[in-house]
């Protein structure tokens, strides 16, 4: 327990310094943060791989039967992490921590100036390091599968190829049918929405969703994200405001709010242990995208929220109705930016990234050729031309932060969410609650079945427990078909 408290405190420090780097820090301080982060991550490495820790975990692992289920899971996660860590030479681990800090800083500049060559050497190093680390840890496994399983235990390329094929064969014809319909007028997204009113909307949504603002904060960053600091008692979400379009920030807040609900929903006795927080990225995304899309873009929620929106933005929304709002936020068409994509095309964006990561890892593609391949796949999958790297290969922060193998989680999360919804509807009148702005019954269901367990169960165990039947992407495809056919 003491070791876990220390790990949490060091994570707090490291995450805090990184969070500050993208929120309050002055522009030229990345190298200064890098200096401190190198020292702290070196000490984390020492602490988690010391002979004392090894002896401790070996001893505990050898006496499993004397431990509670919770303690067994703690030992399992710590021991696995330890064995993985000890396979990476410390200097390489520390150098990598400094690399991602610097890379993130360079990525910001590269994105703003649409300058891929500036970012390229960093991305090359990140891909190379991730691959090398994968080979250190699981030399007999396909390195990309190792990356995938960091975010989703046991996920394979075979499973994903099949999953994405299933999605593609049904989504592409559905999208084609939808785009044949008359275009939705989205002039609402080119209005004037004062930032101060959008900030009020953010607070309103967070409270409506049931987030405890005493424990969940909001800040503004280039790219929205969620992070926990030290424990689930301090969670931060971020958003990005655009004066001409409140919808972008609004759905970022709901999406990140979903992550924050999951993170802060861990049982309190999991705090300051490795079991605190979400069990995998796909289960995390199942929650964030559940709130963002299944709830947030539902007719019930749009009807409920519209009067509040009219109150906050009386001038710009004067001529629009709740029906207009519902149609605008569900407008489906091929587009450039993943985070702004509609539910129908979203998974196609993910597939592009999955294909590229897989091929770079397989040595079939050079990092330098990524922009051209990115643009080709957007043409292939979405039938759209990418005008510049800012809106292409440079749009996401993930690779700059070393998150390779993460993107498929979004697509899996979408699909899990739809199957969770079917289960939830067996006992909760979801639309009825949402139509009245009552999130409590929905939150209670998620807390009871998912949030409270933190990392006590593996993602596969959570799915088993919640679904009572195997995962089946057809729930998601049916959900999309029903929704978009009706629209």
What residues line the site for its own copies (CB under 8 A)? 5-6, 8-10, 12-14, 16-17, 19-20, 23-29, 31-33, 35-40, 43, 212-217, 219, 229-231, 233-234, 236, 272
Q: How far is the CB of 31 from its own copies (least distance, A)?
A: 7
Are 315 and 455 within 8 A, CB to CB? no
CB nearer to its own copies: pick between 74 and 271 = 271
242: which strand partners? 245
Please confirm, yes or no, whether 153 is among the known catalytic residues.
no
CB nearer to its own copies: pick between 4 and 149 = 4
Measure the CA–CA gap between 371 and 373, rounded to whole angstroms: 6
CB nearer to its own copies: pick between 37 and 148 = 37
What is the bridge-based pairing of β-strands 226-229 and 216-220?
unpaired
Residue with tokens 């607070």: 203
Are 394 and 122 within 8 A, CB to CB? no
Measure the CA–CA gap between 450 and 466, rounded to whole angstroms: 8
Q: How far is the CB of 17 from its own copies (least distance, A)?
A: 6
Nearest to 257 by CA among 234, 236, 279: 236
What is the DSSP secondary-structure string of 213-275? Answer: TTTEEEEE-SS--EEEESEEEEEEEEE--BTTBHHHHHHHHHHHHHHHHHHHTS-GGGTTSTT
Q: How far is the CB of 13 from its own copies (least distance, A)?
A: 4
Q: How far is the CB of 99 from its own copies (least distance, A)?
A: 17
CB nearer to its own copies: pick between 45 and 163 = 45
Q: How far is the CB of 282 from its own copies (least distance, A)?
A: 27
Measure the CA–CA gap between 357 and 407, rounded to whole angstroms: 10
Q: Distance of alpha carbon 1 from its chain centroid, rounded? A: 29
Measure the CA–CA gap between 444 and 428, rounded to whole angstroms: 10
CB nearer to its own copies: pick between 236 and 289 = 236
Q: Which of 256, 285, 292, 357 is catalytic?
A: 256
Where on the phi/psi map is residue 404: left (φ > 0), alpha (ψ -120 to 50), or beta? beta
CB nearer to its own copies: pick between 32 and 113 = 32
Q: How far is the CB of 231 from its own copies (least distance, A)?
A: 6
Residue with tokens 């876990």: 4
Report the catalytic residues: 256
């Amino acid at each position: 327990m003491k070791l876990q408290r220390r790990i949490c405190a060091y994570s707090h420090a490291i995450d805090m310094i990184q969070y500050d780097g993208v929120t309050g820090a002055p522009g030229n301080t990345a190298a200064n943060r890098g200096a401190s982060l190198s020292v702290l991550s070196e000490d984390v490495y020492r602490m988690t791989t010391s002979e004392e820790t090894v002896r401790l975990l070996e001893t505990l692992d050898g006496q499993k039967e004397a431990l509670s289920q919770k303690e067994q899971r703690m030992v399992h996660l710590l021991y696995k992490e330890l064995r993985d860590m000890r396979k990476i030479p410390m200097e390489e681990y520390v150098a990598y921590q400094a690399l991602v800090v610097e890379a993130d800083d360079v990525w910001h500049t590269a994105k703003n100036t649409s300058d891929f060559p500036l970012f390229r050497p960093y991305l090359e190093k990140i891909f190379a390091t991730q691959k090398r680390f994968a080979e250190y840890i699981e030399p007999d496994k396909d390195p990309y599968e190792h990356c995938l399983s960091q975010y989703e235990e046991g996920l394979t390329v075979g499973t994903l190829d099949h999953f994405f094929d299933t999605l593609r064969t049904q989504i592409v014809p559905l999208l084609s049918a939808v785009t044949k319909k008359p275009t939705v007028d989205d002039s609402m997204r080119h209005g004037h929405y004062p930032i101060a009113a959008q900030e009020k909307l953010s607070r309103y949504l967070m409270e409506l969703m049931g987030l405890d603002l005493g424990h969940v904060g909001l800040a503004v960053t280039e790219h929205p994200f969620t992070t926990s600091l030290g424990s689930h008692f301090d969670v931060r979400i971020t958003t990005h405001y655009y004066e001409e379009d409140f919808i972008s920030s609004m759905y970022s807040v709901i999406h990140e709010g979903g992550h924050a609900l999951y993170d802060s929903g861990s049982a309190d006795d999991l705090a300051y242990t490795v079991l605190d927080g979400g069990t995998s990225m796909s289960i995390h995304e199942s929650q964030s995208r559940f709130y963002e899309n299944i709830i947030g873009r539902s007719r019930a929620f749009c009807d409920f929220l519209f009067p509040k929106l009219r109150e906050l933005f009386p001038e710009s929304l004067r001529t629009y109705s709740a029906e207009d709002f519902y149609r605008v936020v569900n407008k489906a068409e091929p587009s450039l930016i993943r985070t702004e994509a509609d539910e129908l095309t979203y998974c196609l964006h993910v597939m592009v990234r999955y294909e590229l990561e897989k091929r770079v890892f397989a040595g079939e593609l050079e990092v330098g050729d990524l922009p051209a391949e990115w643009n080709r796949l957007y043409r292939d999958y979405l039938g759209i031309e990418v005008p510049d790297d800012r809106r292409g290969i440079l749009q996401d922060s993930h690779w700059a932060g070393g998150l390779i193998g993460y993107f498929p989680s979004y697509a899996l999360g979408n699909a899990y969410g739809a199957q969770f919804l079917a289960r939830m509807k067996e006992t909760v009148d979801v639309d009825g609650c949402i139509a009245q702005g009552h999130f409590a019954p929905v939150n209670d269901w998620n807390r009871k079945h998912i949030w409270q367990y933190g990392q006590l169960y593996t993602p596969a165990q959570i799915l088993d427990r919640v679904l009572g039947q195997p995962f089946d992407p057809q729930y998601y495809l049916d959900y999309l078909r029903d929704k978009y056919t009706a629209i």
